[in-house]
Amino acid sequence: MRSLISAEQEQAYHAALHSALVAGQGVLARGGASLEAVCVAVQAMEDCPLFNAGHGAVFTAEDTHELDAAVMEGTHLAAGAVAGITRIRNPVLAARAVLQHGQHVLMAGEGAEQLARDAGLPVVEPEYFSTEARRAQLRDAQARASGAVLDHDGAAALAARPPGGPLHEGSKMGTVGAVALDAHGHLAAATSTGGMTNKRPGRVGDSPLIGAGTYADDRTAAVSCTGHGESFIRVAAAHDVCARMAYGGFSLQQACDAVVHQALPAIHGTGGLVAVDARGNVCLSFNTEGMYRGLARVGQAPETFIYR
């Protein structure tokens, strides 16, 4: 897979990750809250067509887009999430609006969109989320009757497909996320996704489910996951990391590795996560060939990575 991604594609991803990291880093450098930092970083990736979130989201089996997102802050365990968004430009901001509204945690469909409109968030036509690379990815999946596929970049996936073979489902994951620790010692996590190419309409993955794809607790860690959503739901992956730290005395690295390299593979789950703990330790763990990821600390140059 690595040899099939061009140097230009790699450079584009590194640049996009760098921009998102700089945006979040800037918030923290000004003394801003971790929740604001993760939202700004994820918003930058939602606006970039390279990622399967916001503009550049994958298509469902009915040629539509359904976007999910969640945010959580670790101080009061406050959280907000949306599922099945079709017209709000930045789903992560819709999730934050749910959190700030305070009455509910997870909202779906038209109700979620109305709350976002009431909060003054930008509304777009569904076509805004579409790209030709994603449409080609859908057509290929449908033509091959390959079912719903996980993929981070439609064009790269098509190029990487062996002649006559299906898309490599385990090679690229389609969720973006960010975690942060601010100067006040508070943690936050945010996650956003377009879901799975050719998925059945109405399917909801782990991203908007608090405890599965997103979790933050100032006592332990902030976690954002990416991968085969059904598996992350079944093991409550994000919360499991925090629980292992709280109840088992695990370090962040030990907890993340236990979830990513033991709990998930036990049910054939593929993917990874980004996490930061209350002491500022960072873990970027995955059980696939690579994961688009990066790290930025205030006062230091951001670092970005793709492969191991």
Residue 202 marked in a binding site: no
Q: Is 292 left (phi over 0), alpha (psi -120 to 50) or beta?
A: beta
Q: Is 288 known as a binding-site position?
A: no
DSSP string, the chain: -GGGS-HHHHHHHHHHHHHHHHHHHHHHHTT--HHHHHHHHHHHHHTSTTSSSSTTPPPBTTS---EEEEEEETTTTEEEEEEEESSBS-HHHHHHHHHHH-S-SEEEHHHHHHHHHHTT--B--GGGG--HHHHHHHHHHHHTT--SB--S-HHHHHHHSPTT----TTT---EEEEEEE-TTS-EEEEEEE---BTBPTT---STTSBTTTEEE-TTSEEEEEEE-HHHHHHTTHHHHHHHHHHHH---HHHHHHHIIIIITGGGT--EEEEEEETTS-EEEEESSSEEEEEE--TTS--EEEEE-
Q: Is 179 labelled as part of a ligand binding site?
A: no
What DSSP assignment string belongs to 246-274? Answer: HHH---HHHHHHHIIIIITGGGT--EEEE
For 269-282, b/e burial (b = at least 16 CB within 10 A) is bbbbbbbbbbeeeb
193 is in an annotated binding site: no
240 is in an annotated binding site: no
Q: Would you say 47 is a known binding-site residue?
A: no
**For residues 256 and 124, what is the distance between their CA atoms, to the nearest angstrom?**
37
229 appears as a binding residue in the annotation: yes
Structure tokens at 64: 């539509």
Q: Is 96 annotated as a binding residue?
A: no
175 counts as catalytic: yes
**Catalytic residue (choose from 60, 86, 175, 191):** 175
Residues of the binding site: 203-206, 226-229
Which residues are identified as catalytic? Answer: 175
Binding site for substrate, by residue number, is: 203-206, 226-229
